[in-house]
Amino acid sequence: MNTPAQQSNFISAQEYLEGEEYTQTRHEYINGAIYAMGGASDKHGLIAGNVSAVLNIRLPESCQVFQSDMKTHIKTQTQEIFYYPDVLVSCAQDDRETYYRNKPTLIVEVLSPSTERLDRYEKFFNYQSLDSLQEYLLIEQRYRLVEIYRRSKKWQREIVNEGVVQLESVRLAISMDEIYRRVNWD
């Protein structure tokens, strides 16, 4: 679970970005507070890597795919946030900052016991404020299950546990076998 690295000291977004260039521990930024990120399990890494690899190979050159190390920037009138999604896809040609993206089309989070609540509620709520975001996927790592939330369906949950996941935002289908390749629950 993310814990405040500095509870009483507000830091600016610029200070946060500069600090992230030199730290070995990644942090998420929420309205002046930074939160250290924990490590991921082998299943988490395999799933995120599988999804990222398929998207990277199949999407057109105009789309960029990032796994874990590219931040998503959310700025509204009342808040400024930088999250590190597990997989981020940005196809907007005017969205090419060096260390973050402002206009993701698709965001994928692999659920972990320590971050599931954050991914399901806080991040999902905040990601919806990104006008560019068309789909949000939550992928279970304890068993085969993908939840899809689409802007076009008013963010109503769709569940897939076999067959293929249709990614409307990038016009691509990815099979459950591809998502869970090499993931072993024995």
Distance CA(166)–CA(116), nearest Å, equals 23
Q: Residue 78: which residues within 8 A CB-CB, separation 6 or more?
A: none
Contact 101, 117 (CB under 8 A): no
User: What is the full per-residue pLDDT of the chain (186 aa) written as tens digits?
Assistant: 444 444 458 999 999 999 999 988 899 999 999 999 988 899 999 999 999 999 999 999 999 999 999 999 999 999 999 999 999 999 999 999 999 999 999 999 999 998 999 999 999 999 999 999 999 999 999 999 999 999 999 999 999 999 999 999 999 999 999 999 999 987
2 CA to centre of own chain = 15
Secondary structure (3-state) at 148: strand
Q: Domains of the chain: which residue ranges?
A: 40-179
For domain 40-179, the CATH superfamily is tt1808, chain A (3.90.1570.10)
86, burial (CB in 10 Å: exposed 0-12, middle 13-18, buried 19+): buried
What is the model's pLDDT at position 8? 54
DSSP H/E element including 113:
none
Terminal alpha carbon distance of the chain: 26
